[in-house]
Each structure stands twice: as C-alpha cells, then as structure tokens.
Amino acid sequence: MSIAQTIEFEQRGDHLGWLVALEGERNVPFPVKRTYYIYGTLPGARRGRHAHHTLRQLMVCLSGSCKVLLDDGQSREEILLSRNTQGLLLDPMVWHEMYEFSEGCVLLVLADNWYDEADYIRNYDAFKAACR
C-alpha cells in the first residue's frame, strides 16, 4: 500500500486553454483553510524535511517538476510530481522532503489549517520516536 494517495483532477477548458478547479470537500478531501506556493528553490536544495502532527495537505506541481520522498516511519517511497492535473495527499505523520526541483518549478499546497510551527516535527529522530 502507498504511503500517500494521489488524485487525478479533471482538466477543463476549450480551444483557448486549460483550467483545473480545486474545491475543498469536493475533489480536495478536506476543508481548505490555507493555500501557499513554493517557488524559486535553489538548485540542489532539499525542502520540507519534516512531518506534521495533525495537518492534512494536498500538493500540486503547477509548473516544472520535483520529487517528493515520503516516510511513514516504517517505509519510504519517492514520487515524481510533474503534472498539474495530479495531486499528492499528505496525511499527518508523514515525513516529507522535496528535491530535484526543475528550474521554474512551482508547487501549490492546500492545507486544512492555518500555519502553526507547533504542528511541525522537524527532527527526524523525534519523528521516528513519535511513530513508535
């Protein structure tokens, strides 16, 4: 079984161009309280490197590509995000790291709660201990 679920979004549009709609509690399986985007990542940088106690998030790569390492404390997997019609659901207590960002990569993230540094586990040993 996969650590994180991926969701395929319906692409809408016509001969003029394309559009994907993300709707909380519809095709996004939680109420959306916060949206942020990650961009301008330095070449070779590794971002994330944390887990959340309770936050649920959905990640969509709007432009370019990057890889995401997922770790649930027992196993690890790597996912390539390179399509803006695919979402990656990040449940609580999943350690995640984003890396191999292509030039111009833009990652959109929808979250079910506001920013709260107390929800982060930024130390990997503490994460492993909390999983036990």
Minimum distance of ligand T46 from residue 47's CB (angstroms): 4
Work out whether 36 is an interface residue with ligand T46 (CB under 6 A): yes
Cα separation, 116 vs 125, whole angstroms: 21
Cα separation, 38 vs 127, whole angstroms: 23
Active site residue 52: no
Site for ligand T46 in 62-101 (CB under 6 A): none
With contact defined as beta carbons under 8 Å apart, do 100 and 23 qualify?
no
Our CB check for ligand T46 shows the closer of 14 and 117 to be 117
Taking the CA atoms of 121, 122, 124 and 125 in sequence, report the sign of the dihedral they define: negative
Minimum distance of ligand T46 from residue 67's CB (angstroms): 13
Minimum distance of ligand T46 from residue 115's CB (angstroms): 3
Our CB check for ligand T46 shows the closer of 47 and 67 to be 47
Cα separation, 3 vs 115, whole angstroms: 23
Our CB check for ligand T46 shows the closer of 17 and 40 to be 40
Please report, as a single letter, which amino acid is at residue 100: E
Catalytic residues, which ones? 50
